[in-house]
Amino acid sequence: MIRLENVSRTFETAEGMIHALSEIDLHIEKGCIFGVIGSSGAGKSTLVRCMNLLERPTSGNVYFEDVNLMNLPEAKLRKMRRKIGMIFQQFNLLEQRDAIGNVRYPLEISGVPKREATAKAKELLKLVGLEERMHSFPSQLSGGQKQRVAIARALATSPDVLLCDEATSALDPGTTRAILDLLKNINERMGVTIVVITHEMKVVEQICDKVAVIHEGELVEAGNVMDIFRNPQSDVTRHLLFPQKEGFEPAGHQRLTMIAEDEMRAPKVKKDLDETGLYVTEEAVWE
């Protein structure tokens, strides 16, 4: 579906050259939910923007359905981008348009007649559970509702892929879960391939089939989520899986349980009472 081949992106800045991405090879298969995880500044947004050429790689190739986007003239690229929807952490809605006006917008600019565009927009707002609020403006909606409008808008052109750059990072845990459930639903019901960029392992855990870990612009490892959870190959991944915080780390505990339930090789867990004597601290010991 999307294939990055030897993709690098550098930026010239006053402080010198920044290697945001270095020789990335990645294959996102049709129908999957693919996570890209890494810490802040790792290159995640640059990577996802290279997938639809919002950011042009300095070198390498980007294939969408076997078409090399790097070779397409601007007009053809714009057309191709309708097949690749995108949502963002800050929603990026048009403030002066109501919910239905936002969802209709991509249809209007691609020349769909108004009546047809309105019908499609209503259908999409229903899909994301917001038909009751179609005449509300972004300023009247909560973060989760705004992201639902953004998802409906991204789906308006019937894309094959939906790119999500930290789509839940501005939301509380409950709303995050609801939006991730919605994305999973869209993947399963509509067959839309989904790429999820995140710095949170719990997002990968909840919905992704595959995951790629990036660090300082380099691909550290990529594969099935369960394989990587069971047997991470790098310290970067281990740190993302089991962040060493003081005290009890429930997320780490759940992950170990999940791996153990799968009856596969799990790390040994060293348990200790912390200094208060109340909470068990856990540490994954990889041998």
| Distances in whole angstroms, Cα of residue 239 to Cα of each of 45, 165, 211, 245, 272 | 20, 21, 15, 10, 19
- Compute how many residues bind ligand ATP; rule: CB under 6 A: 13
**Which 43-82 positions form the footprint of Mg ion (CB under 5 A)?**
45
Q: Does 168 bind Mg ion (CB under 5 A)?
A: no
Rounded distance, CA 127 to CA 148, Å?
A: 9
Q: Does 198 bind Mg ion (CB under 5 A)?
A: no
**Which 181-210 positions form the footprint of ligand ATP (CB under 6 A)?**
199
| Distances in whole angstroms, Cα of residue 270 to Cα of each of 118, 207, 241, 280, 281 | 58, 28, 16, 10, 8
**Which 150-169 positions form the footprint of ligand ATP (CB under 6 A)?**
none
- CB of 10 or CB of 231, closer to ligand ATP: 10
**Which 41-70 positions form the footprint of ligand ATP (CB under 6 A)?**
41-46
Helix (H) or strand (E) holding 27: strand 16-28
Region of 40-48, 104-112, 137-145, 180-188 interacting with ligand ATP (CB under 6 A): 40-48
Q: What are phi and psi of 154, to 5 degrees?
A: -65, -25
- CB of 20 or CB of 241, closer to ligand ATP: 20
- CA 197 to chain CA centroid, nearest Å: 3
Per partner kind, with CB cut-offs from 5 to 8 A, the member of ligand ATP, Mg ion, none near residue 41 is ligand ATP
Residues of the shown chain interacting with ligand ATP in the complex, contacts defined by CB under 6 A: 11, 13, 18, 20, 38, 40-46, 199
